[in-house]
Amino acid sequence: DDQDEVNQNYLADEEEEAEEEARVMVVPDLEEEEEEEEEEEKEEEEKEEEESQTQETGSAWWQKWQIVNEYLWDPEKRMSLARTGLILVIYFFFYASLAAVITLCVYTLFLTISPYMPTFTERVKPPGVMIRPFAHSLNFNFNVSEPDTWQHYVISLNGFLQGYNDSLQEEMNVDCPPGQYFIQDGDEDEDKKACQFKRSFLKNCSGLEDPTFGYSTGQPCILLKMNRIVGFRPEPGDPVKVSCKVQRGDENDIRSINYYPESASFDLRYYPYYGKLTHVNYTSPLVAMHFTDVVKNQAVPVQCQLKGKGIINDVINDRFVGRVIFTLNIET
């Protein structure tokens, strides 16, 4: 059967050739005939075996060797029978070379991408805002007289502020001059120093004096941080300020808020951020809001916005860019 012979020749030739890809081309076509061929081979094998049984036992090993040999390589047909294996090998090589090509592509691509600075930051700008404590929800419901209802906020805040402990900050970070950018020139891959942001800056909300962060008195502290963005610099001379107010309803529901640090702003010295690879000990600056007099026993929606030049806080689709909305419902 001519066709098969051509196939076989082809396969045999292939083996001699190193050309990986060319080999693979015929594979789908060959597969169909594969089973058929194998059956043929098996028949042949059986025949051979019958013959070998009739012969002397002395040459039995030699016979078996021949069968195995023929199974692997039939000189008449110039083909290998371990075809399934061969096809698997061919496919393996095909996918391996594909994988190699792709890896190479991705690798060369990544050579062009700096590990220190993201290529583009326009998708992550303008900065988003997040608050702490945070437990899956932006509704703060708690009863002052039932510590169980607010205890988890305290734990969350304590945990969060561990990295801001004064001792740790003094040990790891430098005290840099306020009111100006902390620019560190030098090579991209050089380690950068970070400015101190001490827990004590937060005063009444530091948890140092009042370990319940005001929750036990119905005057909760909420910390606000701005999302880190590599290279982001607020407008010089005009630090980003935080301002909170009642989002909907009576403005007098919140009669007073204390901000810590008192400027209610993120100092310029915490910018720019150089990325986590080199700016290892960078600690995000925080602003604590101390809601000292809020209407009790009713849900008060609060909106805290960033204010400053170049800050956007009114994106319709994204309610976390430049602002954050949460509700306070303090029961007594």
Partner 1 sequence: GLSSTRAAELLARDGPNTLTPPKETPEIIKFLKQMVGGFSILLWIGAILCWIAYGIQYSNDKSSSLDSVYLGSVLALVVILTGVFAYYQEAKSTNIMASFHQMIPQQALVIRDSEKKTVPADQLVVGDIVEIKGGDRIPADIRLLSAQGCKVDNSSLTGESEPQPRSCEFTHENPLETKNISFFSTTCLEGVAVSIGVLFFIIAVSMKYYVLDSIIFLIGIIVANVPEGLLATVTVALSLTAKRMAKKNCLVKGLEAVETLGSTSIICSDKTGTLTQNRMTVAHLWFDNQVFVADTSEDHSNQVFDQSSATWTSLSKIITLCNRAEFRPGQESVPIMKKAVVGDASETALLKFSEVILGNVMEIRKRNRKVAEIPFNSTNKFQLSIHETDDPSDRRFLVVMKGAPERVLEKCSTIMVNGQEQPLDRSTAKAFHTAYMELGGLGERVLGFCHLYLPADEFPATYSFDVDTMNFPTSNFCFVGLLSMIDPPRSTVPDAVTKCRSAGIKIIMVTGDHPITAKAIAKSVGIISANSETVEDIAKRLNVAVEQVNRRDAKAAVVTGTELKDMSPAQLDELLANHSEIVFARTSPQQKLIIVEGCQRQDAIVAVTGDGVNDSPALKKADIGIAMGITGSDAAKSAADMVLLDDNFASIVTGVEEGRLIFDNLKKTIAYTLTKNIAELCPFLIYIIAGLPLPIGTITILFIDLGTDIIPSIALAYEKAESDIMNRKPRHKKKDRLVNKPLAVYSYLHIGLMQALGAFVVYFTVYAQEGFRPSTLLNLRVEWEKGYVNDLEDSYGQEWTSYQRRYLEWTGYTAFFVGIMIQQIADLIIRKTRRNSIFQQGLFRNKVIWVGIASQVIIALILSYGLGSIVALNFTMLRPQYWFVAVPHAVLIWVYDEVRKLAIRLYPGSK
Shortest CB 196 distance to partner 1, Å? 18
Whichever of 65 and 91 has its CB closer to partner 1, that residue is 91
Among 55, 121, 180, 263, binds partner 1 (CB under 8 A): 121
Size of the site for partner 1 (CB under 8 A): 63
Round to whole Å and give the CA distance between 144 and 45: 88
Among 28, 58, 75, 237, binds partner 1 (CB under 8 A): 28
Q: Are 175 and 195 in contact (CB under 8 A)?
A: yes
Whichever of 138 and 246 has its CB closer to partner 1, that residue is 138
User: 148 vs 42, 141, 216, CA distance in Å?
Assistant: 77, 11, 11
Round to whole Å and give the CA distance between 48 and 137: 77
Q: Does 318 bind partner 1 (CB under 8 A)?
A: yes
Taking residues 74 to 113 in sequence order and writing x for each that binds partner 1 by CB under 8 A, - otherwise, the string is -----------------x--xx--x--xx--xx--xx--x
Taking residues 278 to 297 in sequence order and writing x for each that binds partner 1 by CB under 8 A, - otherwise, the string is -x--x---------------
Strand 323-331 and strand 139-143: pairing?
parallel
Whichever of 124 and 295 has its CB closer to partner 1, that residue is 124
Whichever of 4 and 45 has its CB closer to partner 1, that residue is 4
Q: Are 292 and 204 in contact (CB under 8 A)?
A: no
Among 12, 130, 176, 325, binds partner 1 (CB under 8 A): 130
- Residue keyed to tokens 């150089």: 274
Whichever of 1 and 251 has its CB closer to partner 1, that residue is 1
Extract the runs of DSSP E, i.e. beta strands, from the chain: 129-132, 139-143, 221-226, 240-246, 254-260, 265-266, 286-294, 299-307, 323-331
